[in-house]
Structures are given as C-alpha cells and as structure tokens.
C-alpha cells in the first residue's frame, strides 16, 4: 500500500543570541533535511525576534519561525530527532496541517429599488394660478 505525503507545519523558537547568518544556516539545514527525506518545502517565514509570554531556558525573547512542507509520515520521526539534536533550538512543534482552499464568495444578488414617480415641476406661474383660485374661493 503506497503512502501519500502529508502536509505539515513546523513552528520553532531559536535562541535570541543567534545572528542573521546563523538563522539562515539553520533554515537551510532544515530545508536540506526535508528534501533529503523526499519532502517539499511549501513556504518558509523569516524568523522574527519575539518577546516570550514566559521564560524558556532562561530566555525572555526568541526568534520565532514557521515552515510548511509536505513529506511522507514515516519520515517525520527522523526529522524530529534531527530537531532535538540542535542545541540553538529552544522549542519546536510539528503538526499535521490541512490545506483549506478559499472559496470565492457568491456574487451579491441585485436589489430591487422601486422607481420614483416623477412629479411635475412646479413653476411660479402654476403657483400663482393656484393661489388665485384659493383666494377667489375665499372671496
């Protein structure tokens, strides 16, 4: 029975003492490790320095990054072992991810607006005539 690849998301926290080059090197190592296991990296966010909600391994800040990839489920365990061996990694989490295709919203239905009846434009002459009629009735 042939297994299908699964879509995964890896979230990781790197030590705040790392420089840009070391972070790029870590991402490249990770990408290479995934590709060696016949995986495909779908997307990778740049790791950004974030303040942590609570202290982890004596750090109050960390570089937070996310990588999404497809890989065979039986190879994820080897990837987990590789991640655990990295000493500049504070914490990581690999989760199965399901892609959700965004549906195009339906076109809005046309609304009914009743037509307004056009009224005759009143001119000064018509107003004068009406006033004369009213005044003659009173006299």
Q: What is the homologous superfamily of the domain 6-96 according to CATH?
A: Ribosomal protein S6/Translation elongation factor EF1B (3.30.70.60)
pTM, full prediction: 0.66
**42-85 tens-digit pLDDT:** 888 888 999 999 988 889 999 999 999 999 988 888 888 888 98
Q: Which residues, 6 or more positions from 95, have their beta carbon under 8 angstroms from its beta carbon?
A: 8, 9, 11
Instruction: Sort strands 40-44 and 6-14 into parallel, antiparallel or unpaired.
Output: unpaired
């Amino acid at each position: 029975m042939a297994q299908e690849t699964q879509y995964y998301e890896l979230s990781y926290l790197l030590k705040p003492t790392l420089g840009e080059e070391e972070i790029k090197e870590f991402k490249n190592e990770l990408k290479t490790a995934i590709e060696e296991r016949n995986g495909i990296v779908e997307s990778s966010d740049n790791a950004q320095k974030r303040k942590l909600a609570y202290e982890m391994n004596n750090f109050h800040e960390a570089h937070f990054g996310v990588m999404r990839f497809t890989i065979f489920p039986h190879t994820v365990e080897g990837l987990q072992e590789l991640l655990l061996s990295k000493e500049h990694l504070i914490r990581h989490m690999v989760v199965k991810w399901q892609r959700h295709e965004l549906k195009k919203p339906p076109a809005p239905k046309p609304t009914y607006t009743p037509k307004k009846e056009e009224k005759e434009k009143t001119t000064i002459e018509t107003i004068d005539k009406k006033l004369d009629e009213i005044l003659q009735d009173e006299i």
